Amino acid sequence: MDNKKFELTDKAKSVSSAAKAVSSGCEDATSDIEAVSFSIEDILPFSGASSSGSDNASSDIEDASSNDDGSLSDTVDASSGDDNASSDTGEASSGDDKASSDTGDAPSTDDNAKSNTKDASPKHRFKIIDDASRVTEKVLSPFNKVIDDVQRNYSNSSRIKKTIIAMFNMRVWICIPLIAIIVLGSCYFAFQSEKTASVEMSLNYEEAANGLNPNSTRFNAYNISSKDVVERMLWYCGIDPESVNVDKICDGISINATNHKSFSEGEYYISTTYKITLNRHSSIKDIKTEDLITYLCKSYKDNFYSRYTENRSILEFDIEVFNDKEYLEIADLLDIKAQQIKKYLNTRSKQSKSYVEAESDETFKSLVQKVEDIQSYDIAKYRTFVTMAGCSDDKARFISALEYVNRLMGISYKKDMAGYTVRNDGIKMYDDDMISVVMIPSIDDSKNTYYMSKTKTGMDYIAKEADDMLDSAQQTSKEITVNEDIISKMAAGTNSKENLDKASQMIADIRNKFTELSRQIEAVDKAYVKYRTKDYLTFKPVKKSLIQRLRLVFLFEVAAGLLVLIFVVIWLKFRMYKKGGKAE
């Protein structure tokens, strides 16, 4: 037993010296190894099972000695009998402790080091690569066998012929993956098509050909993906815009012009047809993509009509603007409203004098006549009544205001008359003989004739200014006279409650007539716009065929590309063979 003990001690020392020799190139490892001491007690404390422990330790040490890697970590690995050994010297100590524990006497002195030491060497990675290589070689072995057989049987044929024969022999192995790719790709694109919808938008008004909106502002098709339009779409869908990412939804909307044409360099073409595609965001659920893009089109149409088409707000009649106004001021406001509506209708009448609305048989001319009837009868009657009755919320203040206005207009009248008088006197001082000589010879290019042209002189401009000032003075005088008449009648009026109530009722009647007339005008105007422009915008859903939805053309192109790639790979494989039939 003593001899075995000393033999094991000698072997342990030889292992330590071998480790020192291997790690001589690394200063840190050398210093750690030199700190390791082997003793009889640490390696082989004798007990009843010492023989078996010493045998195990001896076999471990012999394995370490036979390890041809020569690394320190492998040596200590073998000594400890543990597969998960590390590369530092502490593991050598751990290996000694493991040897001691095999004898059943001394416990391990470095359990923490053992638990933390894993195989961090490149051997693990190399093992994975080797395993992958073996699997690949095993998978490709049937293909290589087919290629070898073709090379052996058709050694004198061209590479292209051999490649075709090899692909025919492997047709099952080639077709199954390609069919799987087509089937799985079709399923994927079918699922994706449910999240995508498209419509075609057409601009149906004259200004669109110039890239303009109906109100002559610059048209921008990308407004359909703006935040305002998308938020309104979400409200139509019953979704709170705060609960979703609006910017992401905007990014899922694409706009592309569809009627492209080829032009020479320097020429421009403005598209009037666009394809709008919506890719439904994952945050929007329980709504079909087709319904979602319908709401998008409705939202954009509302936005377009409110911002870029004819402004029909002039047809609206808001009684709130009459609050805190005097009764006579209300008559002036009603006159202004009538003039605005007449101007709008006259513009429409110039665009189409013969247009007749189908349901009501109304024309723009007949609507203008209705406005004039309200203006000349109802408003005039109201004005006369409130003037004669002296209707006012504060008669004294109102009369005082009119008198102040008359004083200001009196000053303007005197100023205009003074200017007229001065200019008239200047004209009288001008020599009449000068008029006959202010003539210049001229040629009419259109008729190619000679004539004497009279040019304007300073007196001509002075005479024009004198006429303008006289007209202004006369108009001011008329207004002063009207105000004086109102003041006298207002002062004589009783301004009773019955008269005020009657005046309020007359205002309500005029408002009702304007409201009804505005409704008729709006109906005729909308029908006319639809007739002339086909409703400005039209949206037509883009229906995809089954081939387009599954993108079969694309998938077959991918399959064809893979076939070409397989052909090239097999062709290159045959190229590696020598004439004798063996691979190079």
Instruction: Write out the DSSP string of 191-220.
Output: HHHTTEEEEEEEE-SGGGGGTB-TTSSBP-
Alpha-carbon gap, residue 76 to 96, rounded angstroms: 9
Alpha-carbon gap, residue 338 to 345, rounded angstroms: 11
Most confident option among 96-100, 110-114, 185-189, 455-459: 185-189
Alpha-carbon gap, residue 356 to 527, rounded angstroms: 10
CA distances from 302 to 229, 325, 495 (A): 9, 35, 48
Cα end-to-end distance, the chain, whole Å:
61
Task: Check whether 45 has a pLDDT greater than 50.
Answer: no
pLDDT bin (cut points 50, 70, 90) of residue 87 is: very low
pLDDT at residue 418, rounded to an integer: 94
pLDDT bin (cut points 50, 70, 90) of residue 115 is: very low
pLDDT at residue 457, rounded to an integer: 61
Alpha-carbon gap, residue 189 to 551, rounded angstroms: 7
Q: Which amino acid is at 460?
A: D
319 or 131, which is more confident?
Answer: 131
pLDDT at residue 413, rounded to an integer: 94
- What sign for the dihedral angle of Cα 527, 533, 534, 539? negative
pLDDT bin (cut points 50, 70, 90) of residue 173 is: confident
407 or 103, which is more confident?
Answer: 407
Task: Check whether 59 has a pLDDT greater than 60.
Answer: no
pLDDT at residue 450, rounded to an integer: 67
> Average of pLDDT values for 362-380?
92
pLDDT at residue 62, rounded to an integer: 41
Lowest model confidence (mean pLDDT) among 67-76, 328-337, 353-362: 67-76
Alpha-carbon gap, residue 372 to 369, rounded angstroms: 5
What pTM value is reported for the model?
0.48
pLDDT at residue 96, rounded to an integer: 41
Lowest model confidence (mean pLDDT) among 56-65, 455-464, 537-546: 56-65
Lowest model confidence (mean pLDDT) among 107-121, 253-267, 430-444: 107-121
pLDDT at residue 473, rounded to an integer: 94
User: How distant is the alpha carbon of residue 154 from its chain centre?
Assistant: 61
Alpha-carbon gap, residue 174 to 214, rounded angstroms: 60
> Average of pLDDT values for 82-87?
36
pLDDT per position as a tens digit, 221-239:
899 999 999 999 999 888 8
CA distances from 535 to 82, 202, 236, 270, 538 (A): 85, 10, 21, 20, 7
pLDDT per position as a tens digit, 298-340:
999 888 988 888 777 777 777 666 777 888 888 988 999 899 9
Q: Which amino acid is at 274?
A: Y
Task: Check whether 560 has a pLDDT greater than 50.
Answer: yes
pLDDT bin (cut points 50, 70, 90) of residue 78 is: very low
What's the half-sphere exposure (Cβ side, CA atoms, 13 Å) at 251?
A: 6
65 or 125, which is more confident?
Answer: 125
pLDDT at residue 414, rounded to an integer: 94
Q: Are 345 and 368 in contact (CB under 8 A)?
A: yes
Task: Check whether 119 has a pLDDT greater than 60.
Answer: no
Lowest model confidence (mean pLDDT) among 197-206, 251-260, 264-273, 513-522: 264-273
Collapsed DSSP state (helix, strand, coil) of residue 523: helix
Q: Which amino acid is at 512?
A: N
pLDDT per position as a tens digit, 405-449:
999 999 999 999 999 999 888 877 775 655 555 566 667 777 677
User: How distant is the alpha carbon of residue 228 from its chain centre?
Assistant: 11
Task: Check whether 290 has a pLDDT greater than 70.
Answer: yes
CA distances from 99 to 9, 109, 111 (A): 12, 11, 13
For the chain, the average pLDDT equals 74
